[in-house]
Structure 1
Amino acid sequence: MPLDLPIDVSSPVMISGATGYVAGHMVKRLLEAGVTIHAPVRDPTRQDKLKYLNEIAVTAPGAIRYFSADLLKEGSYAEAMEGCSIVFHTASPFSLDVNDPQKELVDPALLGTRNVLGEANRHDTVKRVVLTSSCAAIFGDNADVAKAAGGVLTEADWNTTSTLEYGPYSYSKTVAEQEAGKIVKAQSRWDLVVINPSMVFGPGISPFATSESFSMVKQFGDGTMKRGTPRFGIGVVDVRDVAYAHLAAAYLPQAQGRHIISGHNTDFFEIAQTLVSTYGDDYPIPQNSLPKWLVWLVAPIFNKSLTRKMVTRNVDVPWIADNRKSIRELGVEYRPLGETMNEMFQQLVESGQITK
């Protein structure tokens, strides 16, 4: 969608996690608008990690500057935040297969939020912080949807069922957003706007992004799911729409609070079907849905993160969320599901990550 926003190019903005999947599209649109971006990264000398952003910056009117920073180190964002009016905190790990959930998920999400938002308190120029949270902070399992008012998730709902042991990624996003709420309430100089995306798909700035989304789509084309896929209810949104929502949250004065960013209430089988007409003859796109009893029986054997409890609470259970606030207050116009999935799949084909 066109970037019809009152963007101020007079001061820089900071984007934590600038090399990430969603942040890459944010960087692209801001550079094209003429904004100077401060990008704190773990290692500014890793040109392979910065390649795709640098290619955009070469021809864009904006500029990007890199700074060394560590999510777990207090004070490491000080230099990058200097002079910035807006801070985007997108950096947080997204992984479903971890060995130490506290170390790999919760610590980076929670301590990173404390470090970035705590640093905002020390910079008088910062007027707004946009936090990338997740719908995972709104619900734990699809079974929780039935407990929401009217059986539909809204920004008023919170995840109360995920724990460090069960759904640790969702737990990490929940405690991180709650921590952000505490920090913003303790001061009055800057405000906080929160973006809560559902599952993000779509082509990346880099075709080799490490997001779990890419791993899932690869399985649609590499034969992993050729016998079928479960009807695991899920919300889906295009990465480009999520990026736009972040920018609208930053620059629209009326933006406030949480925003569910989700274009489609769907499931994995329905997602796979959007690829069949274009790719079904050449790739083993799953064309059957698996019965719940079978998924329950075999899931832990093939995927340790897909427990039988998770199957019971999510497979054949619809995911339903209300995205009207994002449309009304941020002006998000959601792309069709088929467009998102086909363009992402094609990118993986062209980059050699899915082969016939």
Structure 2
Amino acid sequence: MVSINPKSPILVTGGAGYIASWIIRYLLEDGKTVHATVRKLSEHGKIEHLLDLQKQYPNQLKFFEADLLQARSFHEAMKGAELVIHTASPFFISGIKDAQKQLIEPALEGTRNVLQTVNETSSVKRVVLTSSVAAILGDNIDSLSVPNHTFTEEHWNTTSSLTNQPYSYSKTVAEREAWEIVNKQNRWDLLTINPSFVMGPSLSKRLDATSVDFMRNMLKGAFRPGVPNTRMGFVDVRDVAKAHVLAGFRAEAKGRHILSNQVLPMLGAADILRAHYGKRFPLPTGNLPKFLVYLIGPFFGLNWSYTEKNVDQPLEIDHSYSVKDLGLEYRPLSETFVDHAEQLLAMKLI
């Protein structure tokens, strides 16, 4: 049981990120004081939405520069904090040239640096870490080895590596490292949030998010000829953010938490959008045969190994612990997808 003083500052790392921005907004709305780390305060374009929140909630939001790969980079931001929400970690699955430097080192070393600072900051009582369903499973084919093809928090990704699903590997090694570090002491506890594919409206206008790419490609017709028959877990960014806040302040909460509203085939996302928009957008209406995915998939960043292990494979994800332990209520995915599309339209990003 951990009780957090609501008047102490809360550190949110990676403050300009997709999930972190919503976490910060909810904390500010609750009257909390937030210390947010960003890589460079001079990059106003990346933190414009946070600067707006700072004006809206005066004296509640303070910024600090911090670098995941720089030791002691988070000391100043963590002073006086009882709760640390560590979201900072790279998220991209295409265009990877050096997985070790682009993904593994920032995720692993960043986690080590932040948690080492936690060990050195006596005020900290709890850390909430943004992990991923990718730390639970690597490819859909992994579901053949679990009961009812269904993953729960007891499962760990054992199939990803530096060369196979390196993003998933980065999340796995980072979370394992976090549990190793927390188990060597008894002053603070650790909870992890393990979301599936996060969708929903962004608070920023940035286009460098994988979720934004997915929605823009869907609405602009990149998938019009058809999509691979790949099952995916989807969850709303606002639900993920609220889960972090609940995890931080529910004294009895503990452990890992899968955040995944529903598992759908990719075509299911298009069907939800079509139910709302009709023929307004050139959405896909069918699945591509697997042999065709083998042929054209590489042009979309899908190698043969990915196709073999994910297309036409089963997948189910159990989110019941997040409901039981955090009291989380999931919003309908129709709201998630439509709100995401409307945000992109309003910002003229489509």
> What is the TM-score normalised by the length of structure 2?
0.96
2:200 to 199, 202, 209: 202
2:305 to 309, 313, 317: 309
Shift in CA distance, 58/9, structure 1 to aligned 2, threshold 3 Å: farther
Measured after TM superposition, the shift of residue 254 of structure 1 is 1.0
Measured after TM superposition, the shift of residue 191 of structure 1 is 0.2
Aligned position for 2:333 = 337
Matches within 5 A, 1:196-345: 196-300=194-298, 302-304=299-301, 306-345=302-341
Contact 2:215 2:341 in 1 (8 A): yes
CA distance in 2, matches of 1:327, 1:62: 33
Contact 2:4 2:83 in 1 (8 A): no
Contact 1:35 1:62 in 2 (8 A): no
Query: What is the letter of the counterpart of residue 315 of structure 2?
Result: W
Measured after TM superposition, the shift of residue 40 of structure 1 is 1.5
Contact 1:32 1:61 in 2 (8 A): no
**Is 1:96 matched up with 2:123?**
no
Shift in CA distance, 280/192, structure 1 to aligned 2, threshold 3 Å: same
Aligned position for 1:42 = 39
> What do residues 27-75 of structure 1 show as CA deviations (whole Å, max 9, x unaligned)?
0000111111111111123222221112123223661111111100110
- Work out the number of aligned pairs and report it: 347
Query: What is the letter of the counterpart of residue 86 of structure 2?
Result: H
CA distance in 2, matches of 1:62, 1:288: 52
Contact 2:4 2:125 in 1 (8 A): no
Aligned position for 2:105 = 107
Contact 1:71 1:111 in 2 (8 A): yes
> What do residues 114-157 of structure 1 show as CA deviations (whole Å, max 9, x unaligned)?
00011000001000000000000000101111212332100010
Identical amino acids, percent of aligned pairs: 45
Deviates more, 1:221-230 or 1:110-119: 221-230
Query: What is the letter of the counterpart of residue 212 of structure 1?
Result: T
Aligned position for 1:3 = none
CA distance in 1, matches of 2:5, 2:230: 42
Contact 1:33 1:62 in 2 (8 A): no
1:53 to 50, 67, 70: 50
CA distance in 2, matches of 1:129, 1:339: 30
CA distance in 2, matches of 1:221, 1:53: 27
> What is the TM-score normalised by the length of structure 1?
0.94
Measured after TM superposition, the shift of residue 337 of structure 1 is 1.2
Deviates more, 1:77-86 or 1:58-67: 58-67
Query: What is the letter of the counterpart of residue 191 of structure 1?
Result: D
CA distance in 1, matches of 2:323, 2:59: 28
> What do residues 4-29 of structure 1 show as CA deviations (whole Å, max 9, x unaligned)?
xx974310010100110001110000
Structure 1 unaligned residues grouped into runs of 5+: 1-5
Contact 1:132 1:196 in 2 (8 A): yes
CA distance in 2, matches of 1:122, 1:282: 55
Aligned position for 2:81 = 84
Aligned position for 1:9 = 6
> What do residues 70-110 of structure 1 show as CA deviations (whole Å, max 9, x unaligned)?
10011010000011000011000001111110000000000
Contact 1:207 1:347 in 2 (8 A): no
CA distance in 2, matches of 1:139, 1:133: 12
CA distance in 2, matches of 1:277, 1:29: 30
Aligned position for 2:349 = 353
> What do residues 201-222 of structure 1 show as CA deviations (whole Å, max 9, x unaligned)?
0001114252201101111111
Instruction: Name segments (4+ residues, structure 1) moved above 6 Å.
Output: none
> What do residues 249-304 of structure 1 show as CA deviations (whole Å, max 9, x unaligned)?
1000111110001000112111111111333422211122212221122211x123
- The 3-state SS of whatever aligns with 2:234 is strand
- The 3-state SS of whatever aligns with 2:151 is coil
CA distance in 1, matches of 2:273, 2:236: 15
Measured after TM superposition, the shift of residue 313 of structure 1 is 1.2
> What do residues 310-346 of structure 1 show as CA deviations (whole Å, max 9, x unaligned)?
1111112232011110001101111111111111011
CA distance in 1, matches of 2:254, 2:165: 28
CA distance in 2, matches of 1:20, 1:209: 12
Query: What is the letter of the counterpart of residue 214 of structure 1?
Result: V
Deviates more, 1:17-26 or 1:49-58: 49-58
Deviates more, 1:243-252 or 1:141-150: 141-150
RMSD: 1.4
CA distance in 2, matches of 1:90, 1:138: 17
Contact 1:184 1:191 in 2 (8 A): yes
